[in-house]
Structure 1
Amino acid sequence: MSSLIKHKKVELTELFYDLVYVYAISQTTALIHHIHHGIVAASSFFYFFIGLVILINSWMVQTVYTNRFGKNSIRNIVFMFIQMVFLLMSSKAISGDWSENFAHFILPFSGISFTLLIQYIMEYQASQESYKKDMIRPYFYILSIRGLSLAVSAFLPFYLGLTVAALGVVLTWLLPGLFTHSQKRIVQEEETGINFPHLAERLSLLVIITFGEMIIGIADYFSVESLSWASLLIFIIVTNLFMVYIAEIDHMLDENQPGATGNGMIYSHYPIFIGLSFVTVSLSFLGNHEANNYFAFSLFYLGAFLFTAGVLLHKPYNKESHRFPTALIFYQLSSISML
């Protein structure tokens, strides 16, 4: 348990897979780009939340599979390409009218869930060790519930279907956390856990590519017509957020976590992605005369709060010398919320 973890290489095919997910995240963020009477409607935030949780959860389950069992084999690459096709199909329906495009958005995600389920079933049948089978079995429930709930919701009236999909997504979003105790038991008994350096690198690369989408979003401030001191301040905001994340992941994180399930790090990235989306949208609103400035600033600070909270939630995984006192964490979050 005290030996160093061998870093599993992140393959280029995994990075290619991540690019499609970042495109889908940007399409989902477009749901909260539409202003009505100076603000974004509450329903748009709800659609955004459901869409983003489905996206990130699908990516997380595939990443955990690749981390623990995946090899850069033709079979796994083909499965990733199939999921990418489903994702592109869904992405084109995300930013449209959900009451009309809901089935086109949700059915491909049902396909992704069942594709992931097939991968886990094949790995389960090929595994000889009982502990591997015990680690895989919870994903049968998670992916079956999600796949079925999303498939059924596509054929129901819009609001009923949306409710069924939301319940299925939230349930399967929480299930990995409920299985954490049994997963830790397996890890402790068999001295095998998730390859933490690989997980940290995959998550950080996805976040960095998401920052790239933010850079694209603020590029309009640097046109000849819009260039001003505000352009520089906005760029400083983005780079500061980036450096906060890099300081945590690249310098403070202890990658040697032989007994970790990785669930805590996975869950902490949900507020990071949501926060980055809010910051991206709010910065675009600052140059929009139709947007309410109070709403834009409130959205910005909420995004900064969520992003900072997600970064600070990595405390249990930090090096001993870099674990902040709890009082300092509360002070940091409180100072953001009071700005």
Structure 2
Amino acid sequence: MPELLAKRVSNYELFFDLAFVLGISQLTSSIHLSHVGVQEIFSFIISNIILLNLWMTEVFYYNKYGDSRRDDIFTIIPLMFVVGNLALTFDMDRTHLYVGHPTVVIFNWLLILAYAIIALQYFLKGRVLGFNRDIKFSIVACVIYGISLLPFALGFLGANIWTMLIYLIPSIFPVLTRRYHDSSRINFPHAVERAQLVTILTLGETVIAIISTYPLTESLYQGALLFAGMSFMFISYMTQTFLAIDHHRQVAGSLLFYAHIPIFIGINIFTVGIEFLADSHHANLGFTLLLLGFLSFYAGVLTTTHYNQSIYQLHLKTYLKIGLLLGIGAFIMFLVRHHILLLSLALCATTWTYNYYYLIVRRKKREYHNIPHPDPRKNLRDFS
């Protein structure tokens, strides 16, 4: 089978992602409350899923049908504007989430409008290419997502732990109805690149959080080590998604996007945890969030190994060793949780060891299959 050619990521897609930079920033800021309990954390997680679901819905459209011609340009720009304003309404304060509160009403009307614009994109594309079953069903899906939000927008429902489960419909519905989607239209290389880009943008907020919370002039060792630990996490992600994954394959890629839910949530929880660690009032919660974010991130990264090249397919024994490594690292971090310097050292040691072990695994896989190790003098882009 010939290699699948990668669909180039459009500059308009990159422009659209700028709205999500604001969204990620607003998300991590919105949970900085005097009291943070179970409902606030649950609201934060659901808000992450809402934002990522919206991003994924647009990515799937652009992946399958987007061509950045007039119809796409003049719909993605308004969508970007709506998403940016939607981000301004993120609020984890439970006292603002009751029935009919302006925050709940405005947030949901903007979310409905966003899905309506994506439905319009499919409709306009259908007029050009014909209304195949995939386009028709995608329009219906967006309409269902919008209708499910009307009770919030019309002031019939407030947001609590139970009603917020409605926001998971865009995550669950595609799984239940996957036979109606045309997976042959998915361009997997484009999907991988888009997932990488949103992960980089999300880690950008972590970079800002570490540098602003632990500046060089005040927290030299803590800031430097936390930054190094975060950087090793990024290396883990890029090693997996850039070097190990088989980019040129014809697959639907649904699991790739679902794997990025724990990655996306994990990074944002990790970011908030780093900020809370520096606040004596939230320090204990900060460690809990940091550790949960760390584990969630690596759970998502390991899930993407499903798409590895044939020579890099991992065995159960390898997964168990990685799990043991991460478990030991998490336990050590728990033991030193009250000392940020020691905690950051444990984070660095765990993430560095993970990367080194994965390097050894890939080398042994190549040797087992009699494949020469990459020569950086001949291929400057391959750093394995």
TM-score by structure 2 length? Answer: 0.78
State the secondary structure of the residue aligned to 1:313: helix
Q: Which residue of 2 aligns with 1:213?
A: 205
CA drift of 1:274 comes to 0.3
Letter of the 1:306 counterpart = S
Q: Which residue of 1 aligns with 2:226?
A: 234
CA drift of 1:114 comes to 0.9
What is the rounded CA distance, in whole Å, between the counterparts of 2:38 and 2:141 in structure 1? 28
Kept in 1, the 8 Å contact 2:71–2:121? The answer is no
What is the rounded CA distance, in whole Å, between the counterparts of 2:160 and 2:289 in structure 1? 29
Q: Which residue of 2 aligns with 1:3?
A: 2
Letter of the 1:34 counterpart = L
Q: Which moved more, 1:239-248 or 1:296-305?
A: 296-305
Q: Which residue of 1 aligns with 2:273?
A: 282
Kept in 2, the 8 Å contact 1:70–1:76? The answer is yes
CA drift of 1:217 comes to 0.7
Q: Which residue of 2 aligns with 1:63?
A: 59
Kept in 1, the 8 Å contact 2:82–2:113? The answer is yes
CA drift of 1:96 comes to 6.8
Query: Residues 151-162 of structure 1 correspond to what in structure 2 (within 5 A)?
Result: 151-159=150-158
Q: Indicate the RMSD between aligned Cα atoms, in angstroms.
A: 2.1
Kept in 2, the 8 Å contact 1:253–1:319? The answer is yes
What is the rounded CA distance, in whole Å, between the counterparts of 1:265 and 1:179 in structure 2? 17
Q: Which residue of 2 aligns with 1:296?
A: 286
What is the rounded CA distance, in whole Å, between the counterparts of 2:316 and 2:56 in structure 1? 28
Kept in 2, the 8 Å contact 1:304–1:336? The answer is no
What is the rounded CA distance, in whole Å, between the counterparts of 1:103 and 1:146 in structure 2? 16
Where do 5+ consecutive residues of structure 2 fail to align?
332-384
What is the rounded CA distance, in whole Å, between the counterparts of 1:167 and 1:102 in structure 2? 15
What is the rounded CA distance, in whole Å, between the counterparts of 2:289 and 2:92 in structure 1? 22
| Structure 2 CA distance for partners of 1:181 and 1:330, relative to 1, 3 Å | farther
What is the rounded CA distance, in whole Å, between the counterparts of 2:225 and 2:232 in structure 1? 10
Letter of the 1:23 counterpart = L
Q: Which residue of 2 aligns with 1:103?
A: 105
Percent identity of the aligned residues? 26
Letter of the 2:12 counterpart = T
Q: Which residue of 1 aligns with 2:239?
A: 247
CA drift of 1:207 comes to 0.8
Tell me, yes or no, if structure 1 residue 305 matches structure 2 residue 295. Answer: yes
What is the rounded CA distance, in whole Å, between the counterparts of 1:35 and 1:182 in structure 2? 46
What is the rounded CA distance, in whole Å, between the counterparts of 1:138 and 1:156 in structure 2? 29
Q: Which residue of 2 aligns with 1:28?
A: 27
CA drift of 1:248 comes to 0.8
State the secondary structure of the residue aligned to 1:93: coil
Q: Which residue of 2 aligns with 1:196?
A: 188
Query: Residues 32-111 of structure 1 correspond to what in structure 2 (within 5 A)?
Result: 32-36=31-35, 40-95=36-91, 97=93, 98-99=96-97, 100=101, 101-111=103-113
State the secondary structure of the residue aligned to 2:240: helix
CA drift of 1:168 comes to 3.2
TM-score by structure 1 length? Answer: 0.88
What is the rounded CA distance, in whole Å, between the counterparts of 2:157 and 2:180 in structure 1? 37
State the secondary structure of the residue aligned to 1:304: helix
State the secondary structure of the residue aligned to 1:9: coil
CA drift of 1:335 comes to 4.2
What is the rounded CA distance, in whole Å, between the counterparts of 2:194 and 2:34 in structure 1? 34
Q: Which moved more, 1:24-33 or 1:218-227?
A: 218-227
Q: Which residue of 2 aligns with 1:114?
A: 116
Where do 5+ consecutive residues of structure 1 fail to align?
none
Query: Residues 310-329 of structure 1 correspond to what in structure 2 (within 5 A)?
Result: 310-329=300-319
State the secondary structure of the residue aligned to 1:71: coil
What is the rounded CA distance, in whole Å, between the counterparts of 2:302 and 2:67 in structure 1? 32
Work out which of the residue numbers 257, 272, 285 in structure 2 matches 1:266: 257
What is the rounded CA distance, in whole Å, between the counterparts of 1:266 and 1:181 in structure 2? 17
CA drift of 1:224 comes to 5.2
State the secondary structure of the residue aligned to 2:132: helix
Kept in 1, the 8 Å contact 2:71–2:124? The answer is no
What is the rounded CA distance, in whole Å, between the counterparts of 1:20 and 1:29 in structure 2? 15
CA drift of 1:34 comes to 2.5
| Structure 2 CA distance for partners of 1:85 and 1:262, relative to 1, 3 Å | same
Q: Deviations over 1:229-257 (max 9, x none)?
A: 21221011110111001101111111111
Kept in 2, the 8 Å contact 1:309–1:333? The answer is no
What is the rounded CA distance, in whole Å, between the counterparts of 2:147 and 2:45 in structure 1? 20
| Structure 2 CA distance for partners of 1:160 and 1:63, relative to 1, 3 Å | closer
Kept in 1, the 8 Å contact 2:216–2:223? The answer is no
Q: Which moved more, 1:44-53 or 1:76-85?
A: 44-53
Q: Deviations over 1:78-107 (max 9, x none)?
A: 111111121122111113753331112121
Bigger Cα Rg: 2
Q: Which residue of 1 aligns with 2:173?
A: 175
CA drift of 1:169 comes to 2.2
Letter of the 1:152 counterpart = P
State the secondary structure of the residue aligned to 1:61: helix
| Structure 2 CA distance for partners of 1:161 and 1:150, relative to 1, 3 Å | farther
Kept in 1, the 8 Å contact 2:16–2:76? The answer is yes
